[in-house]
Amino acid sequence: MLKFVVRNAEAADLKYVDHIVTAIYKASQKKGTGIAVRTPEYITEKILDGKAIIAHTDSENWAGFCYIESWGHNKYVANSGLVVEPMFQGEGLAKAIKEKAMLLSFTLFPGARLFGLTTSLAVMKINTDLGYQPVTLSELTDDDAFWKGCESCPYYDILVRTKRTHCLCTGMIKKQEKTLEQLEAQQIKSNKIIIK
């Protein structure tokens, strides 16, 4: 039975950067994803800064990824760029990656509001299962640097035309209602989550 490891990314994981960049680009081309393209340098920086989650098989084949960004003087945090290798989709990896990213986000940015934008029904379901709630775009960060990151999304023109009030993406927010200890207790108690 195939096993996956989901953990905080580290420098040794730079070998996966090309896979990650390609996966994000391919996902951005699919209708209904609303995912923004990222450069190899950007992904490398996230990994080296300790702001990324990686998933791989127990034989170390790349399986999935997500990174963390903070906005508005660290008051808002987004888990972005969630991708899973197509051959491993349907194994529960996306939720495990998102859950691990949520814990890392609250560890790095205590008290921050975790938020996201998505057009993916699968991501909306995962977010809802993890306690996110849909909100209007005005409830998200007003940090221009965040919105600039949407420029590579195919729906960016809608965002511009509506002065950031509407998009095909749904905004979702999760407040940190539990302590880190309670969040950790919900997960497997190690830096690695094994999904069988």
DSSP state of 31: T
Q: Do you know the residue count of the chain?
A: 196
**For the chain, which ranges sit under pLDDT 70?**
1, 31-34, 176-196
What confidence score (pLDDT) does residue 29 get? 81
Q: What are the φ and ψ backbone dihedral angles of 115, each rounded to 5 degrees?
A: -140, 165
What confidence score (pLDDT) does residue 37 get? 82
Given a contact cutoff of 8 angstroms between Cβ atoms, the answer to whether 103 and 180 are in contact is: yes
Given a contact cutoff of 8 angstroms between Cβ atoms, the answer to whether 140 and 115 are in contact is: yes
Given a contact cutoff of 8 angstroms between Cβ atoms, the answer to whether 127 and 98 are in contact is: yes
Specify the pTM.
0.82
What confidence score (pLDDT) does residue 176 get? 66
Domain 4-195 has CATH 3.40.630.30: yes
Domain boundaries, the chain: 4-195
What confidence score (pLDDT) does residue 118 get? 82
What confidence score (pLDDT) does residue 186 get? 58
What confidence score (pLDDT) does residue 184 get? 61
Q: What are the φ and ψ backbone dihedral angles of 107, each rounded to 5 degrees?
A: -70, -45
What confidence score (pLDDT) does residue 6 get? 92
Q: Strand pairing of 76-84 and 113-118?
A: parallel
